[in-house]
Structure 1
Amino acid sequence: MSKYQALWEYVREKESKSLKLTFDEIADIVGIPLDHSFLNYKKELTEYGWQVGKISMKEQIIIFEKTD
């Protein structure tokens, strides 16, 4: 099981076409701070019909986009 499984399930449940989450919100969802490994794990999200659209280190946000 992926350490980001809780995040993938959270995103999958959203009805919107895109979703913006802060790094802190993501840490609250998964229970661990967001780290560089996220870049390797993000490809798992496509199995849930979503993808990472943008990562902003400056704003500390990630925008998720529905692929369907």
Structure 2
Amino acid sequence: MSEVKSVVEVLAKDVQGPGVVACPNPAMPLWSNHPRVFVDVSHEGGGKCPYCGTVYRLKDGEHLHAAH
């Protein structure tokens, strides 16, 4: 299991499409870039990037609206 390098708390407004956020995120330094992946934060409130180990989770009090 890879080591957790950082935790990024996201707001509901940062979540795209079906409950995902993109990694690498714009705040990451250019030297640490890897292929873009989408991390699902809609289940269990968070997820982890398979490349860099960054954990993305919803900030406390944030809620995603259910898609219909």
Higher relative contact order at CA 8 Å, sep ≥6: structure 1 or structure 2? Answer: 2
* TM-score normalised per structure 1: 0.29
- Structure 1 or 2: larger helix share? 1
